Amino acid sequence: MWKPGRRIVNLEIRCCRIDIPAAPAGTGRTFTSGSRSLCLILTALIAVVGVAPVAAHDKTDVVVLTNGDRYTGEIKSVGQSILTLKTSAASTISLKWTHIASLTSSYHYRVEMTSGKQYFGTLAAPDQSGEVKIVGPEETYSVPLSDIFSVLPIDHGFWRKLHGSVNFGFSYTQSNKAIQYSLSANSIYWTRKTLSQVKLNSTFNTQEGADSASQQSLGLLFTRTLKESSGLFGVGQLQSNPDQGFDLRWIAGGGYDRFLMKRSNGYFIVNAGLVHNREQVIESSRVDNSAEALVGLQFADYSDDHPKRTITLSFYTFTNITDPPRFRAQLNFSLSWTVFHNFNVSINLIDNYDSKPPTVGAIKNDFSLNMSIGYTY
């Protein structure tokens, strides 16, 4: 359930459209208390990520390329086939992983292999090109560069361990005064054995003479590594989608996840578990509680060609086991290109399906497609 390499935290939000502070006049739509609360939570999360102070370590790490070029700076991360290095002379630069010959650093890093095995320690000069020498507290290991999945710092403060991105899209049509905006953000926090992620997506639509439409979701995910390619996870979600019959949905649970494929330019993960679903029905005091079986998958593929391209896909199913038959599914697909430094352009597809919405007349399928620009940190 996580995306390696970039700063992200496995707390998960899967699709989200946010209501703005006041519904446009004539739309007939008002805010619910659930919508207001979730908006405040999402705003606070974005504010925290946006103003977080960052402390840097000395720029003494050394990266040597296969052509002999040598760079000195601070190794920020290795992931998605890219090494990110912060230098004093050229700010932050990205280097293709296939062009790296060696790395050295006196600071501690977590080095994860494509097999799932992890090493912790400083990075010493290798005995031969094409390897990384990891000096741990008890042993020293030499591993091939080609087998490394990700490299992340582990001895920095809280803010240095955060990676993530923020994307925003907006459109306006004068003829019918139609407004649409989309917002997505995520942040990941790494430690030696755990990964935590917060992720959100939001879309709002309004048009003169028609009801506004919105959907919002905030998710948290915590993962703890058990073995080289598997782990346990805990997940929580907050969602609001009046068009599908609920003001606020709370989901909490956990389960088991496993990497079926892991390499420097992508991964494939499957998940299974149980969650509790609590729904506050729209325009009613009714609250529904149920248990659901969760089955999901995540896929990612990265290309380091210019412009850099990223494809991510997540698909989750929720089968009601206390009040069948009910089946829900969440799909989130993103295709993005890095166009300038850390700025990107992305196309996002979100689909939510519910075979048995909690109210009569609510839609079963809610679909959105948008384009946005964003920044990765």
Using omega within 30 degrees of 0 as the cis cutoff, is the peptide bond preceding 307 cis?
yes
Say whether pLDDT at 109 is over 70: yes
Does the residue 14 lie in any domain?
no
- Answer whether residue 21 is part of any domain: no
Report pLDDT for 32. Answer: 47
> Do residues 333 and 361 share a domain?
yes
> What span, in angstroms and rounded, lies between the C-alpha atoms of 277 and 54?
37
What is the length of the chain? 377
226 and 94 part of one domain? no
Tokens coding 62? 């050394």
How many alpha carbons lie under 13 Å from residue 182 in its C-beta half-sphere? 18
Would residue 11 count as lying in a domain? no
The last residue of a domain, from among 155, 185, 210:
155
**CA 250, 254, 258, 259: dihedral to nearest 10 degrees?**
40
14 or 270, which is more confident: 270
- Please state the domain count of the chain: 2
339 Rama sector, left if φ>0, alpha if ψ -120 to 50, beta otherwise: alpha
**Residue owning tokens 């494809």:** 311
Confidence category of residue 159, pLDDT binned at 50, 70, 90: low
pLDDT cut 90: percent of the chain above it: 34
Cβ-proximal residues to 138 (8 Å cutoff; 6+ apart), any chain = none
Q: What is the DSSP letter of 125?
A: P
pLDDT digits (tens, 9 = 90+) for 63-105: 999 999 999 999 888 877 788 888 887 678 888 888 999 999 9
Q: Are 267 and 300 contacting, i.e. CB atoms less than 8 angstroms apart? A: yes
Distance CA(93)–CA(82), nearest Å, equals: 10
CATH number of the domain to which 315 belongs = 2.40.160
Are residues 228 and 145 both part of a single domain? no
- The secondary structure of 241-294 as a DSSP string is EGGGTEEEEEEEEEEEEEEEEEETTEEEEEEEEEEEEEEEETTSS-EEEEEEEE
> Does residue 261 lie within any of the structural domains?
yes
Q: Which structural domain range is residue 94 located in?
A: 61-155
C-alpha–C-alpha distance, residues 325 and 321, integer Å: 8
- Is there a single domain that holds both residue 209 and residue 358? yes
Residues 103, 138, single domain; the answer is yes
Is a pLDDT exceeding 80 seen at residue 149? yes
The answer to whether residue 25 is domain-embedded is no
143 has pLDDT over 70: yes
- Kindly report, residue by residue over 21-56, the tens digit of the pLDDT: 344 344 344 444 444 545 545 554 544 444 444 445
- Residue 289, judged by CB atoms within 10 A of its CB (0-12, 13-18, 19+), counts as exposed
Q: Choose one of 133, 155, 177: the last residue of a domain.
A: 155
Single-letter residue type at 150: S
Residue 178 and residue 275 share a domain: yes
Where do the DSSP E strands lie in 80-209? 82-86, 92-96, 100-113, 118-124, 131-135, 140-144, 148-153, 162-173, 178-190, 194-207
The predicted pLDDT at position 157 comes to: 58
Say if 26 falls within a structural domain: no
First-to-final CA distance of the chain:
19
CB contact at 8 A, 277 and 289: yes
One domain for residues 89 and 173: no
Q: Stretch 332-348: mean pLDDT, rounded?
A: 88
For 48-116, give the DSSP string.
Answer: HHHH-------S-EEEEETTS-EEEEEEEEEETTEEEEE-SSSSEEEEEGGGEEEEEEEEEEEEEETTS
Q: Do residue 240 and residue 327 come from a single domain?
A: yes
| 155, 171, 191 - which closes a domain | 155
Q: How far apart are CA 54 and CA 153, in angstroms?
A: 13
- Does any domain span residue 98? yes
Within a domain: 353? yes
* Whole-angstrom distance, CA of residue 129 vs CA of residue 124: 12
Average pLDDT over residues 337-365: 90
User: Which residues make Cβ contacts (< 8 Å) with residue 226, sequence separation at least 6?
Assistant: 232
Could you tell me if 353 and 214 lie in one domain?
A: yes
Residues 294 and 356 in one domain: yes
Supply the mean pLDDT for the chain. 80
Task: Looking at the structure, tell me whether residues 124 and 226 fall in a common domain.
Answer: no
Q: Are residues 165 and 259 in the same domain?
A: yes
CATH number at residue 142: 2.30.30.100
Name the pTM for this structure. Answer: 0.70
